[in-house]
Structure 1
């Protein structure tokens, strides 16, 4: 017996953000290893190039009309700003701390767009976790903090334009258009960087760039597009609180970065807020399906 479409959609809405967060931050950890060789601009250029290579074959010519693609083009610009700012921040802050500051962007979207008390409470709790994570760190680089906050603003724009792109274009067309647009913006800079790379190192850099492009862009952005068709924008924003924890894990496993106890408590608070938001959404969805089923039953 196959599962009904509604439970399948519900599972995607819950599992999608988890897989997306783990994939993005694993790619970010790998990308950080490339910073000494090609810098933030080079990492972002590689990331967008390989994402475009993966997604471009899915593009259909009939969707390339201005009224359909303008949100995707804006999404591509948001991706460039978000990625450049956060990778520059990674060169100044630990991965987990930088992504936690960046999370203030989607947190703001959750607080400003929510009409449900539970989502607001979860957003405030996640914000308290952010304060725990950052308030106990001494000598934070102010430029790194500013760059992470700029990335947060771009992350908020990413959420808004991803939702719009998903409404205008079918499947992952919106992600494909955005990735190609972002790649066209960064490609000239990337070429200028790669021509200065020693030949014996070029293949290794390109290989890592391909890993970053798939893990941090092609896979998670496609998942986010699908999820935002199924859940509200404010709940999706709360679910982005997975990213700081995923970034801290990636920083530990890939880069050997560690967090102190108060920062780990902050991560626990953020994760708890995320869990409550997911459970609350799942229960509301189940209740709505029961009501719909009862209304559709014979004799109702």
Structure 2
């Protein structure tokens, strides 16, 4: 999938710093179209990237994606590395570690349990951050609804892949850590400099990993094309579409739309990868998406 967290960081900065006037109907329609294009591109990129797993493994695909994302973000933001303080570097290094783990965990989870379920479980991360410490009855209900969905997804069955689900939950933990670290960085660094620097460090971490994988698993031209396509569709295209969409729609609507990604991921997995889910799994995805969207709506 999913899901390059570094570009979510740029979107988060935009959502909290850019003032968007009350959109007109045509303007909002353009924003919805852009958000739809972003989400479909993101999930399609993840699906296409997974086609290369058998040749260069999930680690190889993640390495290529990280390199592309690092080059793009560093070129766009041009962070001033010499001006970073020791405290800022600690946050940047921690965020770089989160980037490295979350993408590898998510892509490995996709290899085990499929795109839809992996993205759905990953979305528990931001939901947990939103619900943490809340005493509202609505939030308690959302937590119970999401927990019910997770329990159904992870119920013991002959085909249950606990390793894949564990990797997806690890990605969820990393996404929660990403949100908290990004908040801390946003208080001390302007724009997306911290996110871009962390992305660059993460790309460096994957240099020896990527080389080792590509040497032991010689890539074919189609596999490399899939990995590169994943980097473009899941990084560059969503970044551009989201930046433009935020000029047409308010930030709350943007956040609500992002919560629909698990449904889009499951649909994309079915259409591109022939990954079909049963009724209980679809109901679980709907429960987690509803919990996430309800939390955002009621907080606004």
Q: Same fold (TM over 0.5)?
A: yes
Counterpart CA distance in 2 for 1:25 and 1:118 is 30
Give the secondary-structure state (helix, strand or coil) at the position aligned to 1:212.
helix
Query: In the alignment, does 2:170 pair up with 1:150?
Result: yes
Larger Rg: 1
- Residue 267 of structure 2: aligned partner: 249
Structure 1 unaligned segments of length 5 or more: list them.
Answer: 285-300
Q: Tell me the distance in 1 between the aligned counterparts of 2:179 and 2:143.
A: 16
The structure-2 alpha-carbon separation of the partners of 1:214 and 1:166, relative to structure 1 and needing over 3 Å to count, comes to: farther
Q: How does 1:7-86 map to 2 (within 5 A)?
A: 7=22, 22-62=40-80, 64=82, 65-66=84-85, 67-86=87-106
Structure 2 distance, partners of 1:271, 1:126, is: 8
| Alignment equivalent of 1:216, drawn from 234, 237, 253 | 234
Any residues of structure 2 matched to 1:1-300 within 5 Å, and which? 5=20, 7=22, 22-62=40-80, 64=82, 65-66=84-85, 67-114=87-134, 116-135=136-155, 138-195=158-215, 201-202=220-221, 204-217=222-235, 241-281=259-299, 284=300
1:268 Cα offset (Å): 2.4
For residues 54-105 of structure 1, what are the alpha-carbon distances to aligned partners after superposition, in whole Å with 9 as ceiling and x for unaligned?
1121233535513445433322210111121222222221222233333333
Shift of 1:153: 1.7
Q: Distance in 2 between matches of 1:277 and 1:147?
A: 25
Instruction: For residue 177 of structure 1, give the secondary structure of its aligned residue in structure 2.
Output: helix
**Distance in 1, Cα, partners of 2:104 & 2:112:** 13
Going from structure 1 to structure 2, the CA distance change for 1:275 and 1:110 (only over 3 Å counts) comes to closer
Tell me the TM-score normalized by structure 2. Answer: 0.73
Cα 1:172/1:131, change in 2 over 3 Å = same
Structure 2 CA distance for aligned equivalents of residues 250 and 182 of structure 1: 28
- Bigger relative CO (Cα 8 Å, ≥ 6 apart): 2
TM-score (norm 1): 0.73
Change (3 A) 1:61 1:151: closer
Is the Cα contact below 8 Å between 2:153 and 2:284 reproduced in 1? yes
Deviation at 1:129, TM superposition (A): 2.7
Q: What CA distance in whole angstroms lies between the structure 2 residues aligned with 1:55 and 1:119?
A: 35
Q: 1:142 to 1:275 in 2, by over 3 A?
A: closer
Post-superposition offset of 1:142: 2.5
**1:241–1:270 contact (8 Å) kept in structure 2:** no
* Structure 2 unmatched runs, 5+: 1-18
CA deviation profile, 1:12-50 (whole Å, cap 9, x unmatched) = xx9798776544433221221111111121011011011
- The answer to whether the 8 Å contact 1:119/1:277 transfers is yes
The answer to whether the 8 Å contact 2:118/2:165 transfers is yes
Q: 1:197: how far off?
A: 5.7
Partner secondary structure for residue 271 of structure 1 = helix
